[in-house]
Amino acid sequence: MWWACGWPANEMEEQLTVKKMLATTRMFGSPVKNIGDIREAIATYTSRAAEKLRRQQSAASIISVFVVPKEQNHNTYFRHGPTLSSYVTLPIATSSTNELIKPAVQLVDKLYEKGRLYKKAGVMLSGLVPDSTIQGNLFMPEKQNGKRLLMDMIDNINYSQRDDVLKFAASGTKRNWKMRMEMRSPRYTSRWEELFEVH
């Protein structure tokens, strides 16, 4: 902050707490060729992004998906290539995981090219609005308008139990595409089973 004649010339800005865009991206453990594995990965990344979305009490109206072929550079997906990234505008902004997974997986079908190897994929949520501004649908049953409560319960269980105890079927069970973590440092402070032992 600069001072002129005793008055601040530049006001301090508060740190931005609500993000305007949320993304979840990962490298695959090894190059992936099967569209089923890519669908599972995108569904998993969408679930992660939706959790972040609910944490800041927002809802997204645009979902973007990208995949990076093995032979291309990491930064390629920022270009508007016809086979690498695509997005869809949702009819109503939402933070419900199931309502975000469906269009995300459909975008994978649009981007996937048979016979190609892929090394990375990701999901970006944008067009964010406060979820308090979303109105319930008068023509839907009350239980469908209360999805936020269900999502909060799932988030609380997953946070307390760790390792995605509750997940959507689209995320898969084996997850052979997951990033390799053999070289990861032990998590002494956050996992009981990895607590450091002194003999």
Domain extents in the chain: 22-134
- Tell me the CATH class for 22-134: alpha beta
Q: What are the pLDDT digits (tens) for 85-125?
A: 899 999 989 999 999 999 999 999 999 988 889 999 999 99
pTM of the full structure:
0.73
Question: Residue 63's pLDDT is what?
Answer: 96
Alpha helices in the chain (DSSP H): 35-55, 97-111, 142-145, 147-161
Q: What are the pLDDT digits (tens) for 40-93?
A: 999 999 999 999 999 999 999 999 999 999 875 555 444 444 347 899 999 989
Question: Residue 22's pLDDT is what?
Answer: 92
**Which residues are within 8 A (CB) of 62 and not within 5 positions of it... i.e. 6 or more apart?**
87, 88, 89, 90, 125, 126, 127
